[in-house]
Structure formats: structure tokens, C-alpha cells
Structure 1
Amino acid sequence: MFTVLKITISALVIGVITEIARRYPTVGGVIAALPLVSLLSMVWLSFQGTNPADISKFAMGVLWGFPATAVMVFIIAFMLKHTFPLSIAILVGVGGWFLCLKIQETVFG
């Protein structure tokens, strides 16, 4: 039952953000950039009894992924601005995300 509640609340958050973005793209983008998924995940982990040390490891993983996510979003925004189709922009953006993670792992690993 808890899984259904998590899915429902998470879907509602995404739905609300999407509706805001549809009407006010910049505001929607700023809201979407909030660490809502990370925060929701930490709350769900806590409610499920996950110990704080593991939640801390999760938070550090989020930080580790942040630069790659920023690269991905930049690539997608840049490509869309230059009239590439969304599917291609996402594909290249995810490729940039993966490449950035590999570079981080090599340099800092």
C-alpha cells in the first residue's frame, strides 16, 4: 500500500509541475530544477526505515550525478534552441550525461 501512495504522490508532483510549465515555461523550469525527486526519495527512504547513513550515501550519489545532469540539460536546451527534434536532443543529452559520469569516474574515481 505504501508503494501505491509513493507513486500517487510522486505522480501528482510531476503532473502539477508539468501543468505549471505548460502555462509558465520559465517558472516551470525553475520548479523542475528544484531537487524534488531527491527530497521525495529521501523522505520515502526515511519513512521506510532506512538508516540515516544510507540516506546520506544516497544524497552524496545525487551530488555525484549533479554535474552530469547539468551537462545533459544544457545539451538538450542547446539542441532544442537550434531546432533539433526532442527525441534527438534527449538521446544526445543522455549520451553527454553518460560521458560526463565516465569522465568524473576517471578523474575523481
Structure 2
Amino acid sequence: MIYYIAKVVVTAILIVLISEVSKRSSFIGAVLASVPLTSVLAMLWLYIDTGDTGRVKDLASSVFWLVLPSLALFVALTVLLAQGINFYLALAVSIGITAICYWIMVAILRSYGIGL
């Protein structure tokens, strides 16, 4: 149980740290946010929990393929906010667009025999 709490605390601290740094410098915040800290932590926790490099490899591969459609969120949010759309509406629409892009990516990968 202590290990589980430690994982949650470390992950939460990183997210709060990035948020706080972003208040002072959007560039440094963006650099920290763009580094795949969450993915690295997930792979680290998975390996520590299972010792199974095959599972880590599968996770890394899936993350790779799903990073591509996730970029739609940033493009859509930037465009919508530049158009003066309310932040919460722009965020919701961007998340919806990203979900559609995920669905399309998974469908494309399946058609090529790549399972996630």
C-alpha cells in the first residue's frame, strides 16, 4: 500500500511542478510537459511491478502510436483559443477531436494488423 501511495505522490508532484513552473515560464513548462514523464513513470512502475520487459515494450509501442493522434488536442486547442472560443468549450471540443483521432488511428492500425 505504501508503494502505491508513493507512486501516486510522485506522479502528482510532477504534474503540480509542471503547472507551477508554467506560471512563471510557458516555455519551460512546455518543455517539461512535452518530455514524456508520464509515459516514463508508467513504464518504470510497470517494470518494477512486473519485471516483464515484454509488457514494457508493448506499452512503449502503444504509446508511440497513440502520441500521433494526441497531437490533435494541441493543434485544435490552439486554433480554437486563437478564434476567441471560451476556454472550457475549446478544451471540450479539442478532447472530442482527439478522441475521434484516437479512434481513426486504432482503426488504421488494425487494418494493417497492428494491435494495441
Name the TM-score, length of structure 2 as normaliser.
0.86
Q: Secondary structure at the match of 1:84?
A: coil
Q: Distance in 1 between matches of 2:106 and 2:53?
A: 25
Q: Distance in 2 between matches of 1:45 and 1:108?
A: 24
- Measure how far apart 1:9 and its partner are: 0.6
| Unpaired runs of at least 5, structure 1 | none
Q: Distance in 1 between matches of 2:62 and 2:51?
A: 16
Q: Deviation string for 1:36-84 (max 9, x for gaps)? A: 0000111111111240001111111111211111011111122122221
1:3-42 equivalences under 5 Å are 3-42=4-43
Corresponding position of 1:94: 95
Corresponding position of 1:2: 3
Q: Distance in 2 between matches of 1:105 and 1:95?
A: 15
Q: Secondary structure at the match of 2:50?
A: coil
Whether contact under 8 Å (1:68, 1:96) holds in the other structure is: no
Q: Distance in 1 between matches of 2:54 and 2:44?
A: 14
Name the TM-score, length of structure 1 as normaliser.
0.91
The sequence identity of aligned pairs, in percent, is: 23
Q: Distance in 2 between matches of 1:77 and 1:30?
A: 17
Runs of 4 or more, structure 1, over 6 Å off, are none
| Unpaired runs of at least 5, structure 2 | 111-116
Q: Distance in 2 between matches of 1:39 and 1:105?
A: 22
Corresponding position of 2:54: 53
- In angstroms, what is the RMSD of aligned CA positions? 1.3
How many residues are paired up?
Answer: 109
